[in-house]
Amino acid sequence: MLKLMKYELRKTGFAKLVLLAVTALSELSYLLGVFLKKDQLMYTGLSVLIFGASLGLFYIGIDSLLVFYRDLNTKQSYMLFLIPKNSYQILGAKVLENGISIFLSGAFFAALAAANATISILYVGGLREFLEMVQKMLRQVHIVATIDWGIVIATFFLILAVWLLAIVTGYLAIVLSATVLAGKRFSGLASFAVYVLLERVMALILTQVYRVTGPGRLLAGPILCIFVMVAVMYAVTGWIMERKLSV
């Protein structure tokens, strides 16, 4: 499994390198802005960091779906399906690599945000000044917000889990289009419809779980429920691949 994950990481490595390079540049811009007391440079760096973090996490998932599509629909599929590993192992490596990448990237951006906050507190002024600076920056891009950092962090991790579920559901839709719907008219459209339907059903389940557990257990209830749904999606996708997939 680790060897499979190593190659999955290599396949999606370029997108991650681009993300890392953009992050490094914007961080440099931010730090220069802080140390040289150039507001514009600092705001630009911070804006690109926030934008890059959100878009980057989104792109990591999309790239993983594109790689999976290629792995099933081009001759490169032989590289995966000729080796002595079953579909559950092949898919499991993809889900794990993607899940770890998303959560590590999320944690990395969260740590970077905390580091930047500390630097700002030390060089720009106190915590209050820093938060005012962030609010000022948000106002500049016409976002007026009152920030509750506890909710922000909890929601951040919930979003990462929801995003992982969306990707695993995407795997199922791609497998459906390559197996039971293969060769049929509108197979792409039909698998997308299945994807939308599944997302809707899972959103309804999550809403119910959230209502039962309440916001006090935001990280426990819904996230646990999401991981159960990820496991179900993984099992169903692996089962279809094992029995129906021809590459």
Q: Which residues bind another protein (CB under 8 A)?
A: 3, 6-7, 10-11, 75-79, 81-86, 183, 243-247
CA distance 110 to 93: 25
Give whichever of 85 and 217 is closer to another protein, judged by the CB atom. Answer: 85
Question: Cβ of residue 99: shortest distance to another protein, in angstroms?
Answer: 22
Question: Cβ of residue 243: shortest distance to another protein, in angstroms?
Answer: 7
CB 23 within 8 A of CB 52: yes
Q: Which of 159, 139, 134, 144 is nearest to 222 (CA)?
A: 159
Q: What is the dihedral of CA 16, 17, 18, 19, to 10 degrees?
A: 50
Give whichever of 12 and 120 is closer to another protein, judged by the CB atom. Answer: 12
Question: Cβ of residue 10: shortest distance to another protein, in angstroms?
Answer: 7
Question: Cβ of residue 75: shortest distance to another protein, in angstroms?
Answer: 4
For 245, phi then psi, to 5°, come to -75, 125
CA distance 119 to 11: 35
86: tokens are: 């079953």
Question: Cβ of residue 111: shortest distance to another protein, in angstroms?
Answer: 29
115: tokens are: 């580091």
Q: What is the dihedral of CA 210, 215, 217, 220, to 10 degrees?
A: 50
Give whichever of 83 and 201 is closer to another protein, judged by the CB atom. Answer: 83
Give whichever of 139 and 184 is closer to another protein, judged by the CB atom. Answer: 184
94: tokens are: 């993809």
Question: Cβ of residue 56: shortest distance to another protein, in angstroms?
Answer: 21
Give whichever of 74 and 118 is closer to another protein, judged by the CB atom. Answer: 74
CA distance 91 to 115: 36
Give whichever of 86 and 118 is closer to another protein, judged by the CB atom. Answer: 86
CB 220 within 8 A of CB 159: no
